[in-house]
Structure formats: C-alpha cells, structure tokens
Homo-oligomer: A and B are copies of this chain.
C-alpha cells in the first residue's frame, strides 16, 4: 500500500491549476433554438502545438476503490478533454510540477454527474479512470506527429481512497 490520498469533490477553484470543468453551471452564455437550448460557450482552453484538434472515443475499463496508481503522464504538445458519454462521475488524479519536472503533490478529484474536464497541456495526470460501467468518453486532444506522451512511474504508488 502506497501513500493514501483522499478523493475530494471537484470545483472550478480547486481544479483551476490543472484544467477546466466542462458543465452547465452558472448562467448560459446564450439561449438558442427558440430558447429550447442553453449554450455554455467555449469552456475549454484547447491548446495544441504542431497539430490539430480531433475527437476520439475512449472505452475504458471501470476501476474499483481503493485505486492503486503507480504512474502519472503528461502531454507536452496538447491539452486533453474527457467528456463522459454517461451521467456517471469519474475519478481524476492530477499533480503539480513545481519542483523539478517530476509530479508533486498529487490530488484526486471526483466529478459530479454532467461534468467533463479538460486537462491543460503538460499537466501531470493519471490515466482515464471511470468507476462505473460504461467507461465511454469522447476525448478532444491533439492529432499530430510525434509521441506527445511522457510517463512517470512513482517510487511510492498512490492509494486513492474515498475517505
């Protein structure tokens, strides 16, 4: 068993250093379609180097808690948005890179139903971890040449717990 980290609820403020929350909180920016539809406009900082935006579908195996995490990754060339194609909350692990280029101060968040997230370019994060079936997500990330992936295996794994 590695270092324990408790899952915290996500908020705009707490998630700000790592990325954006994609949801319909607050007031809509625009009412469209004869007021039948609220538009919450341009919620994600999409940031791609030497590439372009694309939409891929990820089908991930749901995980159980406590969840053992031994690797964090980051994408130096682009942001990565995860949009759940279900109403299920999912787990997110992120870390800072204040000290050296290694991930430090890992945090675990759980989304609310109806929220996607966009992880900013070069931010350390865990792999996609749904907690419930189906683990189906639309992913908006960089399509382009090169590896765009850096992996860091943790000396001491993280054990992510609910409380």
Contacts and interface: CB of A to CB of B under 8 A. Distances in A.
Can you tell how many copies of this chain the complex includes?
Answer: 2
Contacts of A114: 85, 134, 136
A63 B136 CA distance: 25
A86 B86 contact: yes
Interface stretch (A5-13, A46-54, A95-103): A46-54
A132 B104 CA distance: 43
A18 interface: no
A138 B83 contact: yes
A56 B81 contact: no
Interface residues on A, range: 35 or more
Nearest to A136: B114
B24 A38 contact: no
Interface of A, helix, strand, loop or mixed by DSSP: strand
A110 interface: no
A128 B37 contact: yes
A116 B116 CA distance: 15
Contacts of A131: none
Given A81-B55, A138-B138, A143-B42, A60 B33 contact: yes
A61 B85 contact: no
Contact of A134 (B52, B87, B143): B87
